[in-house]
Amino acid sequence: MRTHRISPAALLCAALLAIPAAAQHTPSNPGCAYNPIDVEKYGKKPFQNPPEIRAANGRLQTNLVVRYTDPATTSLGGCPLTLRSYNGALVGPTLRVKPGDVMVPWLDNRLPAETEAEIQAQFEQEAGVAFLDMRPYSFNTTNLHTHGLHVSPSGNSDNVLLAISPQTRFQYRIALPADHTRGTYWYHAHTHGSTAIQVGSAMAGALVVDDDPARIPAALRAANAREKVMVIQTILYDTAGKSENIQAFFPDPGSGRNQACVTGGTSCTWQGSNRHVTINGQIVPVIHMAPGEVQRWRMVDGSFRETMAIRLEGHALHEIATDGIYTGRIDTWPDGEEILLYPGYRSDVLVQAGRPGTYRLLDDSAGVAQSLKGVAEDPNVLAIVIVDDVPRMDMRLPTQAEMAALDPFPGVNLAATATGVQEAVFKLGSGLMPTDPRNSFQINYAAFNETRTRYLELDSIDMWSLTTVGDPAAVQNGNGVPPLPHVFHIHINPFQVFRSGPNGQPQMVWKDTQFIPAGETVNVYTQYLDYTGSFVIHCHILDHEDLGMMETVEVVREMPRPHPRPNTSSGAAAHGHGSH
């Protein structure tokens, strides 16, 4: 099994300690069949925020134990689960820090070490469906990514080129700058080859950079006190309550069910599996509010492929932040207009309860143009909101002027100051021969190989042109793969992008993850500040990332200079020695 350029042992030998192995086994259970889940029986329990771990005296110290859930105590919809997790739960604890804090978590990988035969079988799963350019890691190898944080990508910080082997532990040190933006971020596994299976199990949690209560308006402070953290997940498991087949994370067929869903196979895909979208590992939790009450909802799309078209019946959603960064205003999405979330997106909204009654929080039906699956997606009920028949609370929303004061980058317009151009062409294609079942998962027509690096200069400002393509017309006699939608994510530095606001007018927002419609081009603008080092860009459809749709980028203080053209006796450059 290959190793990355940077290994945990080379960085911090003392942090890499062996721990005892533990066997895991779960027999098949009738409750795990690919049948609709009885929500009345297994859902509609009181909403619960994930457990919290807060920094103290400027340090967040914790032990994130990567292990299988215990099927004797953990289930969904009546199915006992043996899934990769943090601390044995279906959602990771919420990590809460402040600007200037240092996070020093131990990542304690207690998953069992696979045999060489198991590792080879996993590799063949992926190599059988994709044109790979480097060998992925095993399903039980992991690491930690702090999605959206502006921190160092090097050493034992937010370094996704690390690989933490089974039965070892490793300590991270992630230092937030003193001026870090305050908002909603998240963390998840990110090892090449196992991201979809690990995040699609339960290996994700929220990460909140808290507000300074003294510097936010009283109305927001009151809403924060009634906060709901919502990690929205598509936890996928087979009829044994496990997740061991990457093909299960592929899109559903255009019509009907995947045959594996009919036969009970391990490659049954999401829609055909009849699994239910969860919030914090709960099926349709129930939120109680009083009339007039204002709550802050921190929503994280932690799914591996799902479009979330979020709306609350009978209520507006007052959006104040995108991907963790305050917009400096309130964007009010009225009832009937959805906030679209894609994998990796976050949206912070204020919800003010209306009249007493029962209302559904919906992932509404996403049309073909919005879907990541190429077909219309079914609607899902995410939660129930009950506005109790009690006296009205005297609460209000912040004003536009109050929210404008929270804009962390007032007046910044990178679109007006960008001087460079970067391009990222996302391609999912087929082989030339119809008998070859493999697809290509590429950025700029190359599958991921960590030794292939794009260089970016510190402090420079670039426009990134993002587009999607499919196969040339001649591939498979015109029956190749058409352009498909993808989701761009860049680590370390956020970007600005234009979107259509609630009134249909274009508006600029800060983000770190962006949907690219099929065959279209989206331009985003970013500046590489504070940190040099290597990190990645990739598609946040997680099986795409695992199968090659990722690229290494490195921020350097000075761009590498081209080699000079050598002198020759004739004064002309010799063929084959020029810089191309």
Q: What is the pLDDT of residues 449-486, one digit of tens each?
A: 999 999 999 999 999 999 999 999 989 888 899 999 99
Name which of 403, 425, 353, 347 is nearest 183 in CA terms: 347
Residue pair 464/524 in contact (Cβ under 8 Å)? The answer is: yes
Two structure tokens written together for 12: 């911090």
Contact partners, residue 58, CB within 8 Å, separation at least 6: 100, 101, 102
Q: How confident is the model at residue 28 (pLDDT cuts 50, 70, 90)?
A: low
What pLDDT does residue 575 have? 34
Res 360 pLDDT > 90:
yes
State which amino acid sits at residue 185: Y
What pLDDT does residue 21 have? 33
What pLDDT does residue 328 have? 98
Q: For the residues 93-105, what does the mean pLDDT come to?
A: 98
User: Each residue of 212-268: pLDDT tens digit?
Assistant: 999 999 999 999 999 999 999 999 999 999 999 999 999 887 767 889 999 999 999
Main-chain dihedrals φ then ψ at residue 312, nearest 5 degrees:
-115, 120
User: Each residue of 259-293: pLDDT tens digit?
Assistant: 999 999 999 999 899 999 999 999 999 999 999 99
Q: How confident is the model at residue 534 (pLDDT cuts 50, 70, 90)?
A: very high
Residue pair 317/349 in contact (Cβ under 8 Å)? The answer is: yes
Residue pair 196/304 in contact (Cβ under 8 Å)? The answer is: yes
What pLDDT does residue 25 have? 37
Q: How confident is the model at residue 6 (pLDDT cuts 50, 70, 90)?
A: very low
Q: Say how far apart CA 564 and CA 578 lie, in whole Å.
A: 8
Residue pair 205/127 in contact (Cβ under 8 Å)? The answer is: no
User: Each residue of 31-83: pLDDT tens digit?
Assistant: 999 999 999 999 999 999 999 999 999 999 999 999 999 999 999 999 999 99
End-to-end CA separation in angstroms for the chain: 34
Residue pair 78/31 in contact (Cβ under 8 Å)? The answer is: yes
What pLDDT does residue 577 have? 32
Count of alpha carbons within 13 angstroms of residue 488, beta-carbon side: 29
Q: How confident is the model at residue 19 (pLDDT cuts 50, 70, 90)?
A: very low
Q: Which of 359-373, 498-512, 551-565 has the highest mean pLDDT?
A: 498-512
Residue pair 340/363 in contact (Cβ under 8 Å)? The answer is: no
DSSP structure string for 262-312 = HHT-TT--HHHHT---EETTBSS-EEEE-TT-EEEEEEEE--SS--EEEEE
Out of 10-19, 123-132, 554-563, which region has the weakest mean confidence (pLDDT)? 10-19
User: Each residue of 165-208: pLDDT tens digit?
Assistant: 999 999 999 999 999 999 999 999 999 999 999 999 999 999 99
Q: How confident is the model at residue 373 (pLDDT cuts 50, 70, 90)?
A: low
| Rounded to 5°, angle at Cα 419 from 562 and 446 | 55
What pLDDT does residue 567 have? 61
Two structure tokens written together for 41: 């029986």
Q: How confident is the model at residue 566 (pLDDT cuts 50, 70, 90)?
A: low
Residue pair 342/234 in contact (Cβ under 8 Å)? The answer is: no
DSSP structure string for 429-492 = EE-SSTT---EEEEETTB---TTSEEEEETT-EEEEEEEEE---TTGGGGTSPPP--EEEEESS
Which regions of 39-80 does DSSP assign to beta strands (E)? 52-54, 59-60, 63-68, 75-76, 79-80
Q: Say how far apart CA 212 and CA 483 lie, in whole Å.
A: 45
Res 369 pLDDT > 80:
no
Residue owning tokens 């908002």 = 183
Q: Say how far apart CA 175 and CA 7 lie, in whole Å.
A: 20
Q: What percent of the chain has pLDDT above 90?
A: 83
What pLDDT does residue 374 have? 66
427 membership: H or E segment, kind and range? strand 420-430
Q: For the residues 403-422, what does the mean pLDDT come to?
A: 97
Q: What percent of the chain has pLDDT above 70?
A: 91
Residue pair 109/140 in contact (Cβ under 8 Å)? The answer is: yes
Whole-number mean pLDDT of the chain? 91
